Every structure is written in C-alpha cells, then in structure tokens.
C-alpha cells in the first residue's frame, strides 16, 4: 500500500539559479513540499576550486538533511560536477544532480551537428559533461565546451535582452555557432533565463537543452520507485533558506521563480553548518566502520 510521505524534497544551489530547477519540480510535482537552500553568502561557486565547492556542497546538503528532507536535489551544475559522488556517499537519502539529466536530454535531442556545452569555469573544467556525452557515444571532436563566466552576473543584474548580454553571447558563442552546433546544453542553472538571448544568437538550427524538466521527471520517477511520493493532491508548501539576503533578492528571486517568493528565512553559515553536523557525522561514522 502506498503511504503518502509528506517530508519535503530539499533543493540547493550556490545562490538563486537553482530556483529554475525548483520551479520545474513544483510544476511536475505540485503536491510536494519543497525546501530550498541558496548559499547566497558564498556565491559564485563557478570560479572556485573542487575542494572548496565540495566542502560548501557538503554543508548545504547536510543542512537540508538536518531539516528532514526525503531527497536532495543538487540544483547547481558546479556542485553536481564536484560533489555529487561524495554527497551520495554521506547522505542518508537519495541525491540527484543536474548533469546526467542534461546529458540525457542532449543525447535525445536528435539534432545533427556537434553538441555544445556552456557552463561555469568549474563545470567545464571538471569535464563531467564531456565524459557523460562520450559515455553516450559521442567522440571528443563532436563536443565543444565553453566557459561563460559573465553569464551569471548578467542574469543576476537582469540584463536579459540587453546589448551587453548580446556582446557576451558573441564573445563566448561565436566558435560554437561557426562549428554548426546542433544542440547546446545550458550547463548552469542560471542560463535558462538567457534562452532568448542565446537562442537568437545561435539561430533556429540549434536546440537549447536545460536539465530542469528532465531532472523533475527523474525525481518523480525515483520517488515513485521508492514509494516516497507525497501523493496528497493538494498544493505543496515552498520554503526558502538563504545564507544571505541579497539587496535585490525580491526582484531577482521572482525572475527565477516566475512568481513572488515568500517564506524566506536567513540562516547564518555557522548555524547552517551546526544544523547539518549530526547527520553528516553519523554518516561519516557509518562509512568508517
């Protein structure tokens, strides 16, 4: 017999980009309670090294686990690239990342021509997308990966459709357009907000892929398999925790989420680390026995 599991799904990102994933999860699983953590005090992760991102991601996910979530979604490509395997080892609940869903969606797009990937420096240098695409049958020459570090601040400043964003597209994407890229993976959870700018620059011959919808589908499937769906027919509750409340939070948050964000709590870094400690220490103890 199916028993409704009302525990929330935990979702985290380095900042607010993961709200594009939260939005897709809420659309696919409207009855689920969702709790979001954005590490706005330490964003960006995309310019930081592997060890640092892994340590941050461990605290972020530990904080959510301490809130009693039934699943953790890593709604950040950089954290998925550097920390997913570690989080799966140390967390007592299923953990989903955004890279594999993005790879699957790109391989299924059916377009001709090379596959492009754009993301933060960390994501691109981790090679996770490139490895995933090659495991799916592509050869290295068919994959063009580009770091696009200016895209994140352009989105945060709301400069969609602005000439500066057009210039950044030209700077980063010209080699991909010239190579005739047929499928372009938006390998950063901020980039779906630049779909119009990127799509206009690349032209109609390029399919843009973002992992949010594929991830939401994978989450629904996994919860179903594990008998963890809330299954309550009603509207789930959305709760937000941020390690800092940015000056333009209301404006930026609404842009990502597609609606006004309420129920926001600020959580200090010390408090956040302490909250997840017990769960992570228990997992570490289990691992070392």
Query: Which residues are identified as catalytic?
Result: 76, 188
Using the minimum distance from each CB to ligand DGL, give the nearer residue, 78 or 206.
78
CA–CA dist 80, 15 (Å, integer): 14
CA atoms within 13 A on the CB side of 255: 19
Q: Judge whether 187 and 102 are in contact, CB under 8 Å.
A: yes
Q: Which two tokens stand for residue 226?
A: 């594990």
Q: Does 24 bind ligand DGL (CB under 6 A)?
A: no
The piece of 9-17, 129-137, 216-224, 280-288 that touches ligand DGL (CB under 6 A) is: 9-17
- The site for ligand DGL, by CB under 6 A, has a size of 17
Query: Strand pairing of 115-119 and 95-97?
Result: unpaired
Among 76, 155, 209, 238, binds ligand DGL (CB under 6 A): 76
Binding of residue 120 to ligand DGL (CB under 6 A): yes
Spatial separation of the C-alpha atoms in residues 21 and 27, rounded to whole Å: 10
**Which of 4, 5, 24 minimizes the C-alpha distance to 13?**
24
Nearer to ligand DGL, 38 or 182 (CB): 38
φ/ψ of residue 270, rounded to 5 = -65, -45
Using CB atoms, what's the residue nearest to ligand DGL?
46
Tell me the closest approach of the beta carbon of residue 48 to ligand DGL, in angstroms. 8
Single residue of 33, 40, 78, 100 touching ligand DGL by CB under 6 A: 78
Task: Please report how close the Cβ of residue 250 comes to ligand DGL at its closest, in angstroms.
Answer: 19
Nearest-approach distance from CB 87 to ligand DGL, in angstroms? 15
**Sign of the CA dihedral running 27, 226, 8, 249:** negative
Q: How far apart are CA 116 and CA 196, in angstroms?
A: 17
For the CB of residue 171, give the shortest distance to ligand DGL in the complex, in Å: 18
Distance CA 3, CA 247 (A): 42
190 binding ligand DGL? (CB under 6 A)? yes
Q: What is the x/- site pattern for ligand DGL, positions 218-257, by CB under 6 A?
A: ----------------------------------------
3-state secondary structure string, 40-78?
CCCCCCCCCCHHHHHHHHHHHHHHHHHCCCCEEEECCHH
Binding-site member from 8, 10, 38, 46 for ligand DGL (CB under 6 A): 46
For helices 212-225 and 19-28, the axis angle rounded to 10 degrees is 50
Q: Which position among 12, 14, 65, 91 is part of the footprint of ligand DGL (CB under 6 A)?
A: 14
Q: Which is nearer to ligand DGL, 74 or 238 (CB)?
A: 74
Distance (Å, whole) CA 206 – CA 106 = 11
Is 44 one of the binding residues for ligand DGL (CB under 6 A)?
A: yes
Q: Which of 59, 126, 130, 189 binds ligand DGL (CB under 6 A)?
A: 189
Q: Kindly list the residues in this chain that would bind ligand DGL in the complex (CB under 6 A).
A: 13-15, 17, 43-46, 76-78, 120, 123, 152, 188-190
């Amino acid at each position: 017999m199916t028993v409704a599991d009302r525990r929330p799904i935990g979702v985290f990102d380095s900042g607010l980009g993961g709200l594009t994933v939260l939005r897709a999860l809420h659309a696919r699983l409207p009855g689920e309670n969702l709790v979001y953590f954005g590490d706005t005090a330490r964003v960006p992760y995309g310019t930081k090294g592997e060890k640092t991102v892994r340590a941050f991601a461990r605290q972020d996910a530990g904080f959510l686990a301490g809130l009693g979530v039934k699943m953790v979604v890593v709604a950040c490509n950089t954290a998925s690239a550097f920390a997913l395997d570690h989080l799966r080892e140390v967390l007592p609940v299923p953990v989903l990342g955004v890279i594999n869903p993005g790879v699957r969606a790109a391989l299924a797009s059916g377009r001709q021509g090379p596959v492009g990937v754009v993301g933060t420096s960390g994501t691109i240098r981790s090679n996770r997308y490139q490895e995933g695409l090659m495991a799916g049958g592509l050869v290295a020459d068919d994959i063009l990966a580009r770091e696009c570090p200016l895209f994140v601040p352009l989105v945060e400043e709301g400069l969609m459709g602005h000439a500066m964003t057009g210039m950044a597209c030209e700077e980063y994407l010209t080699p991909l357009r010239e190579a005739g890229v047929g499928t372009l993976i938006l390998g950063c959870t901020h980039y779906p907000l630049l779909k119009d700018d990127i799509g206009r620059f690349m032209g109609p011959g390029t399919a843009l892929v973002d992992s949010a919808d594929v991830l939401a589908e994978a989450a629904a499937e996994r919860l179903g398999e594990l008998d963890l769906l809330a299954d309550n027919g009603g509207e789930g509750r959305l709760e937000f925790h941020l390690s800092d409340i940015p000056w333009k939070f209301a404006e930026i948050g609404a842009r990502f989420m597609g609606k006004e964000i309420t129920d926001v709590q600020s959580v200090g870094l010390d408090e956040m680390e302490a909250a997840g400690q017990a769960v992570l220490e228990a997992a570490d103890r289990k691992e070392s026995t």
